[in-house]
Amino acid sequence: MKNTIRVERAILDITQAELAERVNVSRQAINNVEKGKYVPSTILAIKIAGIFGKAVEEIFEIEEGD
């Protein structure tokens, strides 16, 4: 699953650690979600999208094979 977290973080000018703190998870979790190595739960995805003020499907995009 692709995502635009890195871009959105750059727009808001926040680090992975700051985003992690806002959604109450570890920095490792954000790092792995951002790199596409870990698919977050619905709750975490909604929280992340909420921080960027966007809908979940604007942040996360399903790839072929998912």
Binding region for another protein (CB under 8 A) = 24-29, 31-33, 35, 38, 40-41, 44
Q: Is 32 helix (H, G, I), strand (E, B) or coil?
A: helix
Query: 8 or 40, CB closer to another protein?
Result: 40
Query: C-beta of 27: minimal distance to another protein in Å?
Result: 8
Query: 42 or 64, CB closer to another protein?
Result: 42
* Beta carbons of 48 and 5 less than 8 angstroms apart: yes
From residue 42, give the alpha-carbon distance in Å to each of 9, 45, 55, 65.
19, 5, 12, 19
Query: 8 or 16, CB closer to another protein?
Result: 16
